[in-house]
Amino acid sequence: MSALMVNSEKGYIPASERIPVIARPFVSERAKKTLDLVEKFVEEECIPADTVYHQQIGVGVKERFTSHPQIIEDLKAKAKKLGLWNLFLPKAHFSEGAGFSNLEYGLMAEYLGKSRTAPEATNCAAPDTGNMEVLAKYGTAEQKKKWLEPLLDGKIRSAFLMTEPDIASSDATNISLSMRQEGNEWVLNGSKWWSSGAGDIRCQIYIVMGKSDPNNPKPYKQQSVILVPADTPGITIKRMLSVMGFDDAPHGHGHIVFNNVRVPVSNMVMGPGRGFEIIQGRLGPGRIHHAMRSVGAAEKALEWMLARMSDERKKPFGKLLSEHGVMLDRVARSRIDIDAARLAVLNAAIKIDETNAKGALKEIAEVKVQVPETLLKTIDWAMQAYGAAGVCQDTPLANMYSIGRTMRIVDGPDEVHLLQLGRNENKKGKAHKSRIEAQAAKSDELLKQYGLEKKDVLQLNRVSGGKSKL
Amino acid sequence: MSALMVNSEKGYIPASERIPVIARPFVSERAKKTLDLVEKFVEEECIPADTVYHQQIGVGVKERFTSHPQIIEDLKAKAKKLGLWNLFLPKAHFSEGAGFSNLEYGLMAEYLGKSRTAPEATNCAAPDTGNMEVLAKYGTAEQKKKWLEPLLDGKIRSAFLMTEPDIASSDATNISLSMRQEGNEWVLNGSKWWSSGAGDIRCQIYIVMGKSDPNNPKPYKQQSVILVPADTPGITIKRMLSVMGFDDAPHGHGHIVFNNVRVPVSNMVMGPGRGFEIIQGRLGPGRIHHAMRSVGAAEKALEWMLARMSDERKKPFGKLLSEHGVMLDRVARSRIDIDAARLAVLNAAIKIDETNAKGALKEIAEVKVQVPETLLKTIDWAMQAYGAAGVCQDTPLANMYSIGRTMRIVDGPDEVHLLQLGRNENKKGKAHKSRIEAQAAKSDELLKQYGLEKKDVLQLNRVSGGKSKL
Amino acid sequence: MSALMVNSEKGYIPASERIPVIARPFVSERAKKTLDLVEKFVEEECIPADTVYHQQIGVGVKERFTSHPQIIEDLKAKAKKLGLWNLFLPKAHFSEGAGFSNLEYGLMAEYLGKSRTAPEATNCAAPDTGNMEVLAKYGTAEQKKKWLEPLLDGKIRSAFLMTEPDIASSDATNISLSMRQEGNEWVLNGSKWWSSGAGDIRCQIYIVMGKSDPNNPKPYKQQSVILVPADTPGITIKRMLSVMGFDDAPHGHGHIVFNNVRVPVSNMVMGPGRGFEIIQGRLGPGRIHHAMRSVGAAEKALEWMLARMSDERKKPFGKLLSEHGVMLDRVARSRIDIDAARLAVLNAAIKIDETNAKGALKEIAEVKVQVPETLLKTIDWAMQAYGAAGVCQDTPLANMYSIGRTMRIVDGPDEVHLLQLGRNENKKGKAHKSRIEAQAAKSDELLKQYGLEKKDVLQLNRVSGGKSKL
Amino acid sequence: MSALMVNSEKGYIPASERIPVIARPFVSERAKKTLDLVEKFVEEECIPADTVYHQQIGVGVKERFTSHPQIIEDLKAKAKKLGLWNLFLPKAHFSEGAGFSNLEYGLMAEYLGKSRTAPEATNCAAPDTGNMEVLAKYGTAEQKKKWLEPLLDGKIRSAFLMTEPDIASSDATNISLSMRQEGNEWVLNGSKWWSSGAGDIRCQIYIVMGKSDPNNPKPYKQQSVILVPADTPGITIKRMLSVMGFDDAPHGHGHIVFNNVRVPVSNMVMGPGRGFEIIQGRLGPGRIHHAMRSVGAAEKALEWMLARMSDERKKPFGKLLSEHGVMLDRVARSRIDIDAARLAVLNAAIKIDETNAKGALKEIAEVKVQVPETLLKTIDWAMQAYGAAGVCQDTPLANMYSIGRTMRIVDGPDEVHLLQLGRNENKKGKAHKSRIEAQAAKSDELLKQYGLEKKDVLQLNRVSGGKSKL
């Protein structure tokens, strides 16, 4: 057993043996083997590589967003050789991937979530994953050849441009980047931001949502999605956005301006007015991928917390942190919440496998809210265990927190999902009310059958003023 | 479709269709059919009967603990006829039950948890369930004939006497009721409390834990478990204990005094000193049953909350409660937490099925803590939706809260389980620490391989005082 | 020092020395002396009497609501002799009371909140307090003579009938008990519930809110308040309401039916249509009194928790509860929250003293929400420290919880107060927005003055596709 | 009224009119005037200057920690002219300051906490404040002349070097930087980190705690505090530490190495072995200053949240954020918590004024824990209101969060303060227990006096097996 992999007091227990029992029937033998390979690759190769990756990025804004760390290419080569490539594309819908179900990939993604480099190294990094799904599902043969193939091969990267700075993007009908057809071209004008991955110099294709038919009476028909090569004239990356102090270089989150950007009509995906159809298919799996990786990140935070609690050099008031009851309480609560979060994510993945993203709407929304809360609480406690070391560059915790924090916002803030969940559940309100009333009516009948007069538990029937009523 | 069963805006969706996808491979077709029968029995028969049950219990302390509501016998007859009997005894270990797994019973128990009468009506009520398991597993042929058979048949009831008033019972080595052997009898002296079910006049047998060998150097060998007929001379039920204001009559929770109570040695279970062995096997499944029913209770609370939110007579500030965003937010959060709790319970049940209660120690401890929190929060919100009606006798919520509240205490307070969970998890601390260190060492090697000198992200190397260092 | 009063490791520290320093300038020397007397009376007389009080109440519904515990009269005699009588009536507005400010009474009420009998013993019990304020402030000479005088003297008790079962009472414009004038009488028809104190056989006067002018276009002019003797024909106390399982006998909470109840027009308070005016003045101080007593109840819960933590008989896993870190953490958090709650209550009381209940709207709403949360959390933790003993009749905790729980509902559920607070605060939103914008504009000016071009911290200005922009 | 100051729907309400009523007796007229001046200076000058300040700092690590933004000097000149200088030095103990009490300064510090530049502009920035207090209180005439005078004048800055990377610094007896006397010099060896302010090129003096007498049997006598000029040979600032992704340049948090650093014995403060005495006096007020500013930061976060909620461009689902009930609920809860936090801080400040930092140990510990929780929750909700904009550089929220997060760690993590608070409170446990027992004994006496036999509320006294006992 490699020292890089020991994960319990009994040494190394493989990932495949730690799958929750309830999920096991859904995991093929091949997936189990791959899962163990993924864990090994992440723990032995990727996590150690993370430090190198950070060192290979420059320090000034411009350097950081033009560097391309060599180690990522070396990891990609290793991953390809191991067969750990394009794991995310669900076998039910795509022939291009590694042939796993969402559930199986979900188990793997947990481990990818423990390393900065692992998702990209296995070509499973957002936003490429969702973009590849869009292209594979809706792209023309030409579009696939030009963009999907190099993406699948890890040669180029991509961005998904939807959110805009000047509107409430949590409601996508507000998206307003102008798309105007002129001859056989579409002309784009407007601004996008939070274009994740746009900072990467290898990012060559943007999938852009805009408003092509602003006067359509059906609000869900006004939008289109179009493919825009990153080097099309008129596009400027104005600035990168920071996330709780981090720039997430070299990928980053771009604020991009479109000034009369012209794209051939053949770049339209599916045809004008089909924007909503496309993004709805895209967002579901993405949310699950985020959630899966977040479970892994939470485990990592808990591992770091436990490591600190065993640090012999850190004995406030003469006791190891692990001898302080409050710390053990937090460990236990983290354990409970993470295990519960994992089950919810796996159940959602299976629901997608058995229906599709739309069929798993409720389950996806649930984990969208549940998982980041668990993640952030765990990281927060881990930070606190480390004291000042926990907020600085000496642990990965602060950076993890910044990423976890955005999970409560990306793809719609929690509040939107909660509102939607609440409304859907509320649809059952009348049914519950009428059932409860029907049951009460039956109670009344039964009372009669049993010859009982209905009495209140505290029946008094007294004339007020204290005297008993006849 | 019966009006007593409508549970969604689309009418009635059977329980078997609402099983989380992740659990489905574990549920046989027969179990699905039984599950739907259970739901039907609970919604159509038991919930309406609950009111009658409460009316058939008297009002004074003595009446309440001597009455035996007739309706429960009528329900038992119906349940037997439907095959809904002794559902809880897991097929893997017992031939006496209905032949379901813990997982399958778990799904059913959720529905039983929605009604006061349902668990007893199906002979699945605590503490009989655990007591039947003990007798079936460890009892002699004679003990089985005398006590297990009538229990399995619903003819008598039983109590489990473990907790004591004068010690910290959360640590069972403290149990101190004296058991002294005299000839072929054991003589018992001491006090027990929280003897649930002891109030029922049909309760004929006590399973009693006591200290038979106080000087045994092995603290886990000092205790024994013995069968004590309820009418043995020397036993007095001193009083019943209330739970947040409720007496839980007619079963109740007894405070019982033993004064030279004599029992034949043949009543000993397994033999002297084997008390711990017995209770450890007993407690696991009981905790899961509580958790399963608690999930059902939480669903019921949510249903009541939703019913109120649709009440046209209750429009504060001109809007239905369901139009107030805060209410929908709570509905959504309840939905998330209940769904997560259910998955955790089902996973724990499968773990018991695949190993045993001991093998599922972690999973059981997790749901022991997680589920009551979810239940209580949901009830609390439902109460708040009802306003004053929510805390009084006009809804089942206050009584449900009182039961839910004890779930954080019975079978050991949460704190004990959290401490144990935390300690077990902490055992991995050194492994995590050494792995993280090994990974850091590998990072250093990699940096050398890539020709990089390790630099801190905010490296300054300046002589202090502001001048740069050479 | 009496053993009944020792309250710290240093013996007895008088209440007057424990007043938060920030509140001291508001407390007269006379109030300090009275405060110490109140503490002494509560600890030495009332708390020991609570048990007797409970024993003197009968057991059946009818007994419990017709008994009048003798000990309360004995306590009242003692309190009167000590000058601890009608402490609540603020000196600024009433000459009938003991001459203290709301702040001074607030400090005293904290101690009253530690005992069941203390508020009534000092004639400071709800709902009489609010009712006396109404009569003193708005009553005619005749009304005062008939009802205020015996109330001030503790000869009779009263109830305030506002909430109704069939509407959303949290919005008082919904109140709909019909008041119809016929000649020189008003005729009342309808139902009231949560009429607290109506169970007491000494309760002789109801202050009733109803709808006298249902067609008045001004919704706040439709209601009136009228005095109704409890023995007026046509009034029936249908039943008493339970609160989380408790009946709060002998006072209780009545569900009362009005059937052609006739009252002379001279019983109207202030005149028809002035109901809102009256209740608004009434509710403010009542909320503060509840809050003050709740702070005391929270202190009591913490004291009980600490007492248990020092119990040598309760040593789970060989350690006193006070040696378990989680318990100390809860003690500390309770301490923090209670101390903060007290300051908020005292500040609100001073605000009432310096303006009036309306002027302290925000402060009262704040403590209305803040204090019960603190109280309930503290009780919950105390219960958990006691384990099963904490939920049963062996500690006062369960009963305290039931009372505390209603505090989140009485006088309007928390949600209504939060909504109102949120809306009031939101009125400042535009001001904050315009200020922030003006400050940003000034930043732009300053940048120019300093010869700086505004740059984003992550400015990139690169044509996308990776090439730098000129 | 300046547009830069409007703070309510009624325009501008001065800070002096918004002082909580309970605190008013403690505020002199002069302090009220100064308070209004502080608010005006912060809102009109400092907040607009914050942007310029950030622009004047360079971008690379070395630039950022060598730049000195000119605007801070311009603000200092303005502040001095306005008399807003050295406001923090409490009049009771120091003649060097502006002559205000801790309470008065507390009110002012709230406003300083709303701007990055304000504390330094008024010479009230940590760690100089605490360092000036140390020098003023314990320094020799020579030390004062050399270091205190230029500090008071804002000519130089300082750092306080206590925390070390290799030990559990939350327990200061662990501090181990070696101080060895050689002739008339002390020789220092070891490492310090989290030396806040050490990055500033104007930082000329370090106040250093180290271990001068490691074998002293009294662990609180082993440490000394010594003054070390920043340019003393042997000192290297190895790197700066980041805080949740931010570097806090140009001040920053240094990791500093001492290699045979020699300082004259005359630089010792108070004499060898008096380190604990000095730091205990120093930490109290510092914690209060942090808390005061944190209250202001929380108000600022709430203001930003409210501003966003009124943004007409941001209407998810057709409604302003301020029309969503969940948002108003959060506003209300923030309002409640911030108002409560302020009262706690002000009460602690008065306690310091009336006794000293030691006398206010409990109050300081309480706000140390309470205030950052309030601050972080408020910022978190404000972020969420802004969506993605809330975590990036377009609002001050992310940076505020990073600072607020450290408040749970600096000067000892929350856990240490909670443990200490819990232990102190627990000292009363036995007193509470004996009092409760004495009260119960008196109850028993009273029962006898009233001729009552003590009965349990659920007394049964039945022989078990259902038959009643005689």
Dump pLDDT digits (tens) for A352-363: 999 988 899 999
- pLDDT (mean) for A433-449: 96
Tell me the two tokens of residue A119. Answer: 């998702």
In order, the DSSP letters of A168-181 are -TTSGGG---EEEE
Q: So what's the pLDDT on residue D469?
A: 43
In a domain, A40, yes or no: yes
% chain D with pLDDT above 90 = 86
- Residues D340, C335: C-beta atoms closer than 8 Å: no
In a domain, C145, yes or no: no
Residues listed for chain A = 470
Chain B residues in contact with C399 by the CB 8 A cut-off are 245
- Answer yes or no: do D422 and D283 share one domain: yes
- Among A285-294, A397-406, D163-172, top mean pLDDT goes to A397-406
Q: Give the pLDDT band (50/70/90) at residue B467.
A: low
CA distance B197 to chain C (A): 16
- Give the three-state DSSP class for D306: helix
CA distance B11 to chain A (A): 7
Global pTM reads 0.97
% chain D with pLDDT above 70 = 99
Residue of B331, C46, D259, D405 whose CA lies nearest to A362: B331
Q: Are D322 and C429 in contact (CB under 8 A)?
A: yes
Domain boundary among the residues C273, C303, C338 is at C273
Q: Is the confidence metric ipTM above 0.90 for this complex?
A: yes
- pLDDT (mean) for B414-419: 95
Q: Count up the domains in chain D and report the number.
A: 3
Tell me the two tokens of residue B390. Answer: 């929510």
What is the rounded CA–CA span in Å between residue B413 and residue B112?
24
Instruction: Read off the pLDDT of residues C286-328 as tens digits, 9 standing for 90 and up.
Output: 888 999 999 999 999 999 999 999 999 988 888 999 999 999 9
- Residues A406, D415: C-beta atoms closer than 8 Å: no
Interchain contact B201–A (C-beta under 8 A):
no
Residue of D317, B325, B340 whose CA lies nearest to A419: B325
Domain boundary among the residues C101, C125, C149 is at C125
Q: Give the pLDDT band (50/70/90) at residue C172.
A: confident
- Give the three-state DSSP class for C162: coil
Give the neighbours of chain C: at least 3 Cβ pairs within 8 Å: A, B, D
- Give the three-state DSSP class for D441: helix
- Give the three-state DSSP class for C255: strand
| Closest D-chain CA to B463 | D236
In a domain, A400, yes or no: yes
- Give the three-state DSSP class for C402: helix
**C267-289 burial string, b = 16+ CB within 10 Å, else e?**
bbbbebbbbbbbbebbbbbbbbb
- Answer yes or no: do D292 and D433 share one domain: yes
The H-or-E segment that residue A224 falls in is strand A223-229
Instruction: Read off the pLDDT of residues B183-238 as tens digits, 9 standing for 90 and up.
Output: 999 999 999 999 999 999 999 999 999 999 999 999 999 999 999 999 999 999 99
Interchain contact C59–A (C-beta under 8 A):
no
What is the rounded CA–CA span in Å between residue C322 and residue D413?
21
Sign of CA dihedral B262, B268, B272, B273: negative
The H-or-E segment that residue A341 falls in is helix A325-354
- Residues A237, C198: C-beta atoms closer than 8 Å: no
- Answer yes or no: do A169 and A193 share one domain: yes
Q: Are B380 and B304 in contact (CB under 8 A)?
A: no
Interchain contact B460–D (C-beta under 8 A):
yes
Q: Counting beta carbons within 10 angstroms of the beta carbon of residue C111, is it exposed (0 to 12), middle (13 to 18) or buried (19 or more)? A: buried
Q: Give the pLDDT band (50/70/90) at residue A463.
A: confident
Separation of CA C146 from chain center:
27
% chain B with pLDDT above 70 = 99
Chain A residues in contact with B354 by the CB 8 A cut-off are 21
- Select from C61, C313, C414 the Cβ nearest to the Cβ of B167: C313
CB pairs under 8 A between C and D: 297
Q: Which residues pair with D206 in a beta bridge?
A: D159, D228
Q: What is the CATH number of the domain that holds D40?
A: 1.10.540.10
- Answer yes or no: do D348 and D248 share one domain: no
- Residues A458, B432: C-beta atoms closer than 8 Å: no
- Kindly state the greatest CA–CA separation across chain A: 94
Tell me the two tokens of residue A8. Answer: 């319990």
What is the rounded CA–CA span in Å between residue D386 and residue D311?
10
**Cis amide leading into B229 (omega within 30):** no
What is the rounded CA–CA span in Å between residue D344 and residue D366?
8
Q: Are C107 and C31 in contact (CB under 8 A)?
A: yes
Cβ atoms < 10 Å from Cβ of C440: 12
In a domain, C367, yes or no: yes
Its domain, for residue C203, covers 157-273
φ and ψ at C460, to 5 degrees? Answer: -125, -50
In a domain, C48, yes or no: yes
Within the 272-311 window of chain A, which residues sit less than 8 Å (CB to CB) from chain C? Answer: none
- Answer yes or no: do B289 and B404 share one domain: yes
Chain D residues in contact with A383 by the CB 8 A cut-off are 405
Q: What is the CATH number of the domain that holds B408?
A: 1.20.140.10
Q: Above 60 in pLDDT, residue B466?
A: no
Interchain contact A313–B (C-beta under 8 A):
no
B-interface mutation test, from D66, D208, D330, D464, most B Cβ less than 10 A away: D464
Q: Above 70 in pLDDT, residue B391?
A: yes
- pLDDT (mean) for C235-257: 95
Mean pLDDT of chain A: 94
Residue of C194, C237, C197, C199 whose CA lies nearest to C67: C199
Helix axes of A361-386 and A414-426: crossing angle, nearest 10 degrees = 140
Q: So what's the pLDDT on residue D61?
A: 80
Interchain contact D64–A (C-beta under 8 A):
no
Q: Give the pLDDT band (50/70/90) at residue D470.
A: very low
- Answer yes or no: do A285 and A408 share one domain: yes
Instruction: Read off the pLDDT of residues B87-114 as tens digits, 9 standing for 90 and up.
Output: 999 988 888 899 999 999 999 999 999 9
Mean pLDDT of chain B: 94
**Cis amide leading into A250 (omega within 30):** yes
What is the rounded CA–CA span in Å between residue C293 and residue C108?
9
What is the rounded CA–CA span in Å between residue A340 and residue B322?
28
- Residues B61, D256: C-beta atoms closer than 8 Å: no
- Residues D311, C433: C-beta atoms closer than 8 Å: yes
Q: Please give, one letter per residue, the 3-state secondary structure of chain B.
A: CCCCCCCECCECCCHHHCCCHHHHHHCCHHHHHHHHHHHHHHHHHHHHHHHHHHHHCCCCHHHHCCCCCHHHHHHHHHHHHHCCCCCCCECCCCCCCCCECHHHHHHHHHHHCCCCCHHHHCCCCCCHHHHHHHHHHHCCHHHHHHHHHHHHCCCCEEEEECCCCCCCCCCHHHCCCEEEEECCEEEEEEEEEEEECCCCCCEEEEEEEEECCCCCCCHHHCEEEEEEECCCCCEEEEEECCECCECCCCCCEEEEEEEEEEEEHHHECCCCCCHHHHHHHHHHHHHHHHHHHHHHHHHHHHHHHHHHHCCCCCCHHHCCHHHCHHHHHHHHHHHHHHHHHHHHHHHHHHHHHHCCCCCCHHHHHHHHHHHHHHHHHHHHHHHHHHHHHHCCCCCCHHHHHHHHHHCCCCCCCHHHHHHHHHHHHHCCHHHHHHHHHHHHHHHHHHHHHCCCCCCCCCEEEEECCCCECC
| Closest D-chain CA to B251 | D466
In order, the DSSP letters of A18-63 are SS-GGGGGG--HHHHHHHHHHHHIIIIIIHHHHHHHHHHS-SSHHH
Interchain contact A392–D (C-beta under 8 A):
yes
Q: Which residues pair with A152 in a beta bridge?
A: none
In a domain, C453, yes or no: no
Q: So what's the pLDDT on residue A368?
A: 95
- Answer yes or no: do C331 and C246 share one domain: no
Q: So what's the pLDDT on residue A286?
A: 80
- pLDDT (mean) for D381-403: 97
Q: Round the CA-based radius of gyration of chain C to a whole number and report it.
A: 27
- Residues A466, C61: C-beta atoms closer than 8 Å: no
Within the 393-412 window of chain B, which residues sit less than 8 Å (CB to CB) from chain A? Answer: 393
Q: So what's the pLDDT on residue D424?
A: 96
In a domain, C142, yes or no: no
Q: Counting beta carbons within 10 angstroms of the beta carbon of residue D155, is it exposed (0 to 12), middle (13 to 18) or buried (19 or more)? A: exposed
What is the rounded CA–CA span in Å between residue A448 and residue A453?
7
What is the rounded CA–CA span in Å between residue D38 and residue B233?
82
Q: Are A338 and A262 in contact (CB under 8 A)?
A: no
In a domain, C4, yes or no: no
- pLDDT (mean) for D224-230: 97
Cβ atoms < 10 Å from Cβ of B318: 10
- Answer yes or no: do B321 and B402 share one domain: yes
- Answer yes or no: do D88 and D161 share one domain: no
What is the rounded CA–CA span in Å between residue A333 and residue B422?
8
- Answer yes or no: do D255 and D292 share one domain: no
- Residues A458, C236: C-beta atoms closer than 8 Å: no
The H-or-E segment that residue A441 falls in is helix A429-449
Chain A residues in contact with D415 by the CB 8 A cut-off are 324, 326, 384
What is the rounded CA–CA span in Å between residue B457 and residue D240?
9
What is the rounded CA–CA span in Å between residue B369 and residue B367?
5
What is the rounded CA–CA span in Å between residue D352 and residue D322?
40
Where do we find the tokens 């600096």? D410
**Cis amide leading into A217 (omega within 30):** no
Q: What is the dihedral of CA B447, B452, B454, B460, to 10 degrees?
A: -170
| Closest D-chain CA to B325 | D325
- Answer yes or no: do C365 and C384 share one domain: yes
What is the rounded CA–CA span in Å between residue D113 and residue D110?
5
| Closest D-chain CA to A405 | D391
The set of residues, in sequence order, having a beta carbon less than 8 Å from that of A312 and lying 6+ positions away, is A320
Q: Which amino acid does the sequence have at B398?
A: A
Within the 243-272 window of chain C, which residues sit less than 8 Å (CB to CB) from chain A? Answer: 247, 252, 254, 256
Q: Give the pLDDT band (50/70/90) at residue A470.
A: very low
Instruction: Read off the pLDDT of residues D311-366 as tens digits, 9 standing for 90 and up.
Output: 999 888 889 999 999 999 999 999 999 999 999 999 999 999 999 888 999 999 99
Q: Give the pLDDT band (50/70/90) at residue B67.
A: confident
- Answer yes or no: do C344 and C250 share one domain: no
Q: So what's the pLDDT on residue C457?
A: 84
Domain boundary among the residues C245, C273, C301 is at C273
